[in-house]
Structure 1
Amino acid sequence: MLVAAAVAIAVVGVSAIAWSITKADLYQQFDARLESYAQLAAKSSTPEEALATLSSADQSQSEDGHERAGGGLTVQFLSAANVGTGTAGAKSLIPVTDLDRSVAAGTVDRVSDVRSIDGDRFRVWTAQRPGGGAVQVAQDAEEIEDTLERLGFWLTIVSMAGVLGATLAGHLIARSALRPVDDLTAAAEDVARTQELSPAIDIGARGEIGRLARAFNQMLSALSNSRAEQRRLVEDVGHELRTPLTSLRNNIELLIHAEAHPERSLPAVDRSKLLADLDFQAVELTALIGELVDLSGGERPSEPEVRIDLADVVRSAVDRTRSRWPRIQVIAEFTDAEVLAREAGLERAVLNVLDNAAKWSPKGGTVTVTMSRSAEKVRVRVEDEGPGIADGDLPHVFERFYRADAARALPGSGLGLAIVDQVLTQHGGRAEAANAPSGGARFDLFLPDPRAGIR
């Protein structure tokens, strides 16, 4: 419909302009001919003589191959007193207007207009005669009217045919162009019905439709990966929660059994150990749930990115680490470095790395924090004096729930470093783990420098 409407407007506009230009050109030629006839007729002494002269001139033009002005010539003389002195030709009388009288009186040079004479449309040209008075030459404009009518008829037919053809062509083109959209719609409906994200749409279209299909496939792939990641997270969470929950349940059942059978009551020392173990497990579960919430919420950060001084973030994390691990010495060197980041999330990442370093450091050990910047990035380095990271564990330290064999007896959920990696990735940076020359672990946090125009 849009194509048909656009073509209709264009065709009607072009046809109207063509018809108007043709009409103006025909009447201009017609008026030029009448003017030349009036000049010839003005030299004659009577209307009859003038008509004979015009007929000879008209016949001569026809023999020379020029188009004739048409039949129906009428010549009428007006005296200087504005009185008709004679008429000869197709009509017995040409109506005289005030402008015609002005021409006869010599106040106006000439007049040209269209008049109705006995129901017919005539072009009338009135001009002054050399001896005074005026001559009027009128000719039927029927031939021009017929020509314009035929032209209008054929322009209308051609325009209607063009609009009809454009409508059919537009319909076929629209069906062909929108077929990939129908395929996309069917695929989207199928995904909504089956909840199956793996099938991809065959991309056969180009241009914007092809781009839409590729974007749809990318969306399906992203949703499929998200679902797989969610499933893996649920499975990992279930596996990690099973052991502390089982231990909690066993300890609670033991306490309940002891209360139900006073003759088999637990010794005070064993009871205190059970309660302490329950408290420890509750704290571990609380920390695990909190880290799970942080990890899942961090996938869709709601905090906006702002320009902050990374040194302030690291300084705050160092202060919190010192208060949480008083048996560990934390030495820090700060360098002013502006970054584009989410302050709360970034501080949590730095704090997790510091907590990990403090956890593995021996009592009285030292955790060293340094900052540096290059042309394109800013680096925060954390080194501890612990046993370091085994070569087999290095590729996995940032994976969710991964815990080295040596870390099984230590508190933790295996999510802290995974949160670090996720936060750094969201900021366009990265986290790297290695062993320091001193033997402990070394973690490097890299963030892009906004002045380098990387992000």
Structure 2
Amino acid sequence: MARRGVGNGEIDVRLFRGMFTALAAQALLIVALAGGVLLWNVYTSSERLIRNRDAEHLESFVALAAESAAAGKAFDRIVADLDRRDPAILGNRVALVGEGDRLLAGRAAGPALIERPVVVDGRTIARARIIAPPQLNDRDRAVMRDHYIGIGAILAGILALLLGAAYWFASRWSRPQRELLRLSHEVADGDGDIYFDERGPREIVGTMRNLRRIANRFERIETARRTWLVMIAEELREPIASLGAHLDELQEALTAEPEFKAAIEADQNRLARMAEDLHAVALADLGRLPLRFADVDPRALIHNTIYVHAKRAEAAGVRLETSNLPPYTILVKWDAERIEQLFGALIENSMRYVPRGGRIVLGLESQRDAWRLIVDDNAPGIDVGLAQQLFEPFYRANAKDTPGGSGLSLATARAIVEGHHGRIEASNSPIGGLRITVVLPATPPTA
């Protein structure tokens, strides 16, 4: 069996992409969490450093304020000197308050961010407060910028490493999954000869081995089934032929009535058709359907088929007609015997469903380097969703009680069409029943 190739590459890419996307998402989450922690740490560390710096500067200011106050300098002048001397750090951020939080100097008193007592001769004469948050200077901003750039570079490096690791792990982990998917497709397609590289997790390798055993067992059963069908069909042909000869002798000896003779002949023909159809389907299943290609005129094949089936169609009250046959001679390279068998199978299938007074119409149309063989009938229509099931062996869909049906007609037709490298389709007929369309190349590639 041919191995499945179409679509596997796309499925493999989707499998790898899904695994890589999941790992990449986890990598992004890790980097985002780590980045958040680092940024929070940088922010809190910077805030703590600035607070410690403010506390140190406030201690220095308190010491100078105590000396100035002991020397009789007014609190207003002390704060003014601070604002002028240190505008970048404590300037305009310090207030001196007395008892009851009474403002002595500086900005309006408010909640204290940091507070230190001003002590002169062992007595607290005021309290110095920082009452406004610090304003970052250029140096602070440069330090913060360097920190953020460093953190961004570290996070980008970590993300690149994690994405590289995700790609490697996705490729490594998805490889046995892709191999398992490929094997399952081959088993589903009926390929019993499958190979795989026994690398990967133990569970997946064990599943691959089980698939191989299933495929081998299925292949043996399928080969045996097809071989049995061929043998049964071949064994049926000889006793049917012998039975026909004995029945002919019996009819002559008994001078049987015409109706009795016709019934015996119909049963014999039915058994012979069943054996031939079963033989063709079984050989096609094994890829050994014998075909003898030669130049033939399909119009002549259609007329011969109608002539052969005219008596039976007349007995069933069904008209066999032609439509759209070209008026000129056509030469194609087909197996004439098999094509007549194909038309016979299609007519037999229609006669199982067409009521008395119905029609079966055979047509032939040109299509580039091929020809379309069309068989229409006016039996009840079909469900388009079930159209492909019609070509399965022994499929029946409420056929009327017409003698001669084997359930192999359309399966036989499909086997012959595939042997000619053509295609066969079922659809609703414009005259009310089923339309079977067969497209055959004028010259099959292997002819």
Smaller-chain TM-score bracket? 0.3 to 0.5
TM-score, length basis structure 2? 0.39
Give the greater-gyration-radius structure (CA): 1
TM-score using structure 1 length: 0.39
